[in-house]
């Protein structure tokens, strides 16, 4: 428990540090480890070939943005990373997605274990119709943590981590549905942080939010990336440019270009990327 | 050249508008007739039965003499019967609904179960009585007991509970399940901790309404051979018992006019019981509805 | 960077790793689908049980009574000592009389109420009337039976002096009242699901509400309405307590509705409340009659499903 406290202060340090070093952060990726190494990955919905021969190397402690027009497969890809695509019964896949060196498509890979390490934040805020406290404690509880004191600590730490503690600390027992959309989304992020995942997948997390809430979530993403690897799908190119270190551009189920974000937005290699970011389609 | 002559159109218009008004009134009267029937039925029964309602009526067992006839055994029997039907039918009904909504794959077998349930819902209640008589009373040697009747009635209302539970489970948004799976929860954890808590108000509402149907049901119990006049209360699952509707059936059949008043008094008790159950169901529905 | 790398030895993840009861969890995950499918099979078993019971005991009955005598016999005299007659047609006819009278009451009133609720009523009226219809549908049949016997019959006797105390008319009307809410609410559902754009199309041409209701909405919702009527008539056929109390116990093979009759359901009740011993022909006869009743209602239910599926309008 003492250990946990230490981590908490540690975490706050990181957050402070990260906001100060934000400007100076460059993409010096060579010494970073891969979290998700995707090799020749294909995915079909029934007969529809939705993802074609995807090869991507996503590094740890970075924000990787995935952009592209609607229907390009970006959401499908991010949902493949924690195997949420399997909830659609007609999905077929082949190829490899290695999470920290192990192929998650392997039938021996426990999907629950993967999702415990790889958290997800969804397009629409989807808190449970329970109290704020129970929402955050959901993850730890399903994984067998019952000690009230530890849960209290985890809840506080996660809410602080998601920068919403001050707003909700006096009403932890109120239903999370009473909060605004932006607050709900940060509760969902906090809920995700509560099991301290390694990677956080975000599927257009701000698409249902107003500009101010969007800004808050974007700042949060910046703060989180020192402790977490973040992969974010967005249809908002400015957002990708603002918050990500690397950007992958998807089109018709293929990766057209994957590079440092500043490079993608300043000197894209591919004509289609340039067309897309300059707003000629999508 | 004009095909429509303005003056004839206007002339016809008047009669068309009158027809509209006349028929609107007819439709309204038809609707009100249904309501009127309900009012007559209630007024009639209350005026016949109110005088017979007394403490003695609740404390007396059945009797050959109208002035001594009471509903103690019947009321207690109905309540005991409910205590068996509620858990049995809800476990079976909710379990089936969870299976169909969360686990069943889209295949012939699932279609078969669904079709079977909708057909079962249309089987007359008296046929369930025949089923119970053969299977529970005779083959399983349960006799004309609370348990045999409880099982029979549970099967009778099972389709209603299944359908209501399915609807309630289906109404839980997909993103709730995704949120849970996304945290590494297993399927069963997701069902128990996310889906069921959100669906439980709808399930309860449907189940209570189904239960109230079982409480008012008579025919299957007659077929099972449940006795009508009992001078004792049931003391166990295999004990003999009687219920309110059975007692009412017996009183209504009797030739002496006095028994009509006794029956009316009994009906008041039954209806109050049903109103209470329905109010609870409506209360739950209103309290917990529309949260997403 | 390196120190942060160490910092990701997450304590919560450690706790999770320690506390996770993998075996137990996996066992539950494997077990639950099996438990649930078993429970789901109980509904199938119920159908199997009904079929088994009816077929088996009916077969026993036909060992004693010839199947042609049963199906085509016009006299049902099971209690007549030495030579009982088991011709089911009088019971079927009694049942049909009730169903037809009930339909005559419930179909026009039910559809009229449905039109009113769906096309004319304001939201507020609808919110009052629909619950009342639900209450009407929730009244136990024994109460309706009592109402038929003690109120409707005496009232009808004022109008038709020749009406017997037990007759087909009174329970038929009351069964009609009982199934009315079913027709009204199912038909209203069918009419409400006709999209407004279709109504607006007609209204914009200057049609009155009546014309829209009868010439546009009603035809569009017809399959749903017919299905509701078929279902309701099936319910009338299976109705037991009203006819047992007010219909009498005299199976007759004529078209008279003022005299005592007996329906299939009422016969089963009559035998069950008496003391026909287990194993007698009369005992088995209730299963044969129950089976006949089951076939009738099954066909009507399948018909209703077929109509609503086959002719479902796609908007």
- Yes or no, beta carbons of C298 and B124 under 8 Å apart: no
Report the largest interatomic distance among the alpha carbons of chain A, rounded to a whole angstrom. Answer: 56
Confidence band, pLDDT 50/70/90 cuts, at residue A25: very low
Residue A19: is its pLDDT beyond 70? no
DSSP-derived secondary structure for B69-109: ---HHHHHHHHHHHHHHHHHHHHHHHHHHHIIIII--SSHH
CATH number of B57-288: 1.10.3720.10
Question: Which chain B residues contact residue A82 at CB under 8 A?
Answer: 182
Best mutation site among C11, C13, C19, C24 for testing chain A: the one with the most A CBs within 10 Å? C11
Please determine, for the modelled complex, whether the ipTM score is greater than 0.85.
yes
Cα gap C78→C82, rounded to integer Å: 10
Which residues, numbered 174 to 233 in chain B, qualify as contacts with chain A under a Cβ-Cβ cut-off of 8 Å? 175-186, 189, 193-194, 197-198
CB B197 within 8 A of CB B126: no
> So what's the pLDDT on residue C20?
63
Q: Does some domain include residue A282?
A: no
Question: Which chain A residues contact residue C10 at CB under 8 A?
Answer: 7, 196, 198
In percent, how much of chain A has pLDDT > 70? Answer: 88
- Beta-strand runs (E) in C114-214: none
- Among the listed residues C10, B175, C16, B191, the one whose alpha carbon sits nearest the alpha carbon of residue A110: C16
Q: Does some domain include residue A191?
A: yes
DSSP single-letter state for residue B61:
-
Which residue do the tokens 């529905």 mark?
B285
- Yes or no, beta carbons of A14 and C4 under 8 Å apart: yes
**Domains plus CATH for chain C?**
85-310 (1.10.3720.10)
Within 13 Å of residue B208, how many CA atoms lie on the same side as its CB? 18
Within 13 Å of residue A199, how many CA atoms lie on the same side as its CB? 26
- Yes or no, beta carbons of C47 and B24 under 8 Å apart: no
Which residues, numbered 11 to 70 in chain C, qualify as contacts with chain B under a Cβ-Cβ cut-off of 8 Å? 25, 28-29, 32-33, 35-37, 39-44, 46-47, 49-50, 53-54, 56-57
> So what's the pLDDT on residue B224?
94
> So what's the pLDDT on residue A105?
92
Domain spans of chain B?
6-52, 57-288
**Which of C150, C210, C268 faces B23 most closely, judged by CB atoms?**
C210
CA distances from B92 to B119, B133, B160, B213, C48 (A): 17, 21, 11, 17, 17
- Separation in Å, CA of C18 to nearest CA in chain B: 16
* CATH code for the domain in which residue A137 is found: 3.40.50.300
Q: Domain count for chain A, please give it.
A: 1
Confidence band, pLDDT 50/70/90 cuts, at residue A21: very low
Residue A220: is its pLDDT beyond 80? yes
Where is pLDDT greater, at A25 or C298? C298
pTM above 0.95, yes or no: no
Confidence band, pLDDT 50/70/90 cuts, at residue A202: very high
Residue B187: is its pLDDT beyond 80? yes
> So what's the pLDDT on residue C94?
96
The pLDDT of B85-90, averaged and rounded, is 97
In percent, how much of chain B has pLDDT > 70? Answer: 98
Q: Does some domain include residue A11?
A: yes
Where is pLDDT greater, at B99 or B236? B99
- The residue of chain A nearest to residue B104, with distances taken between CA atoms, is A89
Cα gap B200→C74, rounded to integer Å: 53
> Torsions phi, psi of A250, nearest 5?
-100, 140
> So what's the pLDDT on residue A82?
93
- Among the listed residues A221, A189, A223, A207, the one whose alpha carbon sits nearest the alpha carbon of residue A67: A207
Best mutation site among C32, C186, C274 for testing chain B: the one with the most B CBs within 10 Å? C32
Residue B101: is its pLDDT beyond 90? yes
Best mutation site among B122, B229, B279, B282 for testing chain C: the one with the most C CBs within 10 Å? B122
Q: Which residues of B146-160 are buried (b: 16+ CB within 10 A; e: fewer)?
A: bbbbbbbbbbbbbbb
B neighbours by CB contacts (3+ pairs under 8 Å): A, C
Query: For the packed helices B258-288 and B196-216, what is the interaxial angle rounded to 10 degrees?
Result: 170
Where is pLDDT greater, at B142 or B64? B142
Where is pLDDT greater, at A29 or B161? B161
Task: Tell me whether C2 touches chain A (CB under 8 Å).
Answer: no
Please count the residues of chain B.
292
pLDDT in tens, B54-72: 888 888 887 778 778 889 9
Residue A27: is its pLDDT beyond 70? no
Question: Which chain A residues contact residue B184 at CB under 8 A?
Answer: 112-117, 139, 142-143, 195
Cβ-in-10-Å burial (0-12, 13-18, 19+) of C203 comes to: middle
Cα gap B219→C73, rounded to integer Å: 27
Cα gap C220→C197, rounded to integer Å: 13
Query: For the packed helices A211-224 and A181-193, what is the interaxial angle rounded to 10 degrees?
Result: 20
Mean pLDDT score across all residues of chain C: 90
Residue A208's domain comprises 2-277
Residue C3: is its pLDDT beyond 70? no
pLDDT in tens, C7-28: 344 478 888 777 766 778 888 9
Where is pLDDT greater, at A188 or C275? A188
Where is pLDDT greater, at C292 or C6? C292
Cα gap C229→C180, rounded to integer Å: 9
């Amino acid at each position: 428990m003492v250990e946990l406290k230490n981590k908490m202060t540690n975490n706050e340090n990181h957050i402070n540090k990260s906001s100060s070093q934000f400007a100076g952060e460059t993409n010096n990726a060579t010494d970073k480890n891969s979290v998700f190494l995707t090799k020749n990955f294909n995915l079909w919905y029934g007969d529809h070939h939705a993802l074609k021969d995807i090869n991507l190397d996503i590094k740890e402690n970075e924000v990787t943005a995935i952009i592209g027009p609607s229907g390009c497969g970006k959401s499908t890809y991010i949902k493949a990373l924690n195997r949420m695509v399997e909830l659609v019964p007609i999905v077929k896949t082949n190829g490899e997605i290695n999470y920290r060196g192990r192929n998650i498509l392997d039938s021996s890979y426990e999907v629950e274990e993967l999702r415990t390490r790889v958290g997800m934040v969804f397009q629409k805020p989807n808190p449970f119709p329970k109290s704020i406290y129970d929402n955050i404690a959901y993850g730890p509880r399903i994984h067998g943590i019952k000690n009230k004191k530890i849960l209290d600590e985890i809840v506080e730490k996660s809410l602080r981590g998601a920068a919403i503690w001050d707003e909700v600390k006096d009403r932890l027992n109120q239903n999370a549905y009473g909060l605004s959309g932006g607050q709900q989304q940060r509760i969902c992020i906090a809920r995700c942080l509560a099991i301290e995942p390694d990677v956080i997948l975000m599927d257009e997390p701000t698409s249902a939010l107003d500009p101010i809430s969007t800004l808050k979530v974007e700042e949060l993403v910046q703060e989180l990336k020192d402790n977490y690897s973040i992969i974010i799908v967005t249809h908002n190119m400015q957002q990708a440019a603002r918050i990500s270190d690397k950007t992958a551009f998807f089109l018709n189920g293929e990766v057209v270009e994957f590079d440092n974000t500043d490079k993608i937005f300043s000197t894209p290699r591919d004509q289609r990327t340039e067309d897309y970011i300059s707003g000629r389609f999508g | 050249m004009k095909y429509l002559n303005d003056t004839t159109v206007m002339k016809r218009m008047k009669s068309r508008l009158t027809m509209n008004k006349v028929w609107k009134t007819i439709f309204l009267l038809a609707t009100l007739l249904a309501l009127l029937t309900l009012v007559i039925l209630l007024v009639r029964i209350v005026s016949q039965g109110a005088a017979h309602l007394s403490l003695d009526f609740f404390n007396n067992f059945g009797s050959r003499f109208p002035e001594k006839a009471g509903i103690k055994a019947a009321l207690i029997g109905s309540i005991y019967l409910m205590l068996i039907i509620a858990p049995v039918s809800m476990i079976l009904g909710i379990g089936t609904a969870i299976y169909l909504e969360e686990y069943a794959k889209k295949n012939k077998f699932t279609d078969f179960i669904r079709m079977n349930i909708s057909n079962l819902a249309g089987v007359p209640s008296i046929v369930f009585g025949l089923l119970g008589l053969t299977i529970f009373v005779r083959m399983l040697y349960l006799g004309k007991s609370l348990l045999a009747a409880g099982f029979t009635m549970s099967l009778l209302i099972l389709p209603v509970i299944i359908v209501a539970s399915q609807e309630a489970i289906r109404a839980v948004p997909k993103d709730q399940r995704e949120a849970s799976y996304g945290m590494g929860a297993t399927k069963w954890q997701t069902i128990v901790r996310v889906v069921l808590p959100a669906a439980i108000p709808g399930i309860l509402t449907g189940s209570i309404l189904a239960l109230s149907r079982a409480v008012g049901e008579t025919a299957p119990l007659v077929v099972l051979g449940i006795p009508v006049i009992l001078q004792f209360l049931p003391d166990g699952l295999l004990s003999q018992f009687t219920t309110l509707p059975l007692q009412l059936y017996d009183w209504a059949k009797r030739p002496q006019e006095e028994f009509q008043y006794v029956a009316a008094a009994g009906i008041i008790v039954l209806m109050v019981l049903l109103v209470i159950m329905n109010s609870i169901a409506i209360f739950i529905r209103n309290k917990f509805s529309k949260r997403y | 960077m390196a120190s942060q790398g160490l910092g990701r030895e997450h304590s919560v993840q450690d706790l999770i790793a320690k506390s996770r009861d993998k075996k137990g969890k996996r066992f539950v995950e494997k077990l639950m689908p099996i438990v649930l499918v078993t429970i789901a099979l109980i509904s199938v078993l119920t159908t199997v049980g009904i079929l088994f019971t009816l077929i088996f005991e009916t077969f026993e009955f036909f060992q004693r009574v010839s199947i042609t005598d049963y199906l085509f016999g016009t006299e049902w005299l099971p209690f007549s000592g030495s030579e009982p007659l088991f011709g089911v047609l009088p019971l079927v006819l009694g049942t049909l009389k009730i169903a037809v009278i009930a339909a005559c009451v419930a179909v026009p009133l039910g559809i009229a109420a449905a039109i009113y609720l769906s096309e004319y009523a304001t939201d507020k009226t609808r919110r009052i009337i629909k619950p009342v219809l639900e209450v009407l549908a929730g009244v136990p049949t024994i109460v309706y039976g009592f109402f038929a016997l003690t109120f409707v019959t005496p009232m009808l006797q004022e109008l038709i002096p020749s009406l017997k105390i037990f007759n087909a008319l009174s329970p038929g009307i009351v069964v009609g009242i009982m199934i009315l809410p079913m027709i009204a609410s199912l038909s209203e559902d069918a009419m409400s699901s006709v999209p407004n754009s279709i109504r607006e199309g007609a209204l914009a041409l200057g049609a009155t509400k009546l014309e829209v209701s009868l010439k546009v909405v009603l035809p569009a919702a017809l399959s749903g309405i017919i299905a509701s009527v078929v279902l309701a008539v099936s319910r009338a056929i299976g109705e037991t307590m009203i006819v047992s109390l007010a219909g009498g116990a005299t199976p007759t093979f004529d078209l008279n509705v003022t005299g005592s009759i007996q329906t299939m359901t009422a016969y089963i009740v009559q035998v069950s409340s008496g003391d026909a011993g287990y194993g007698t022909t009369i005992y088995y006869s209730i299963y044969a009659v129950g089976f006949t009743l089951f076939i009738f209602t099954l066909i009507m239910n399948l018909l209703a499903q077929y109509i609503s599926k086959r002719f479902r309008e796609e908007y």
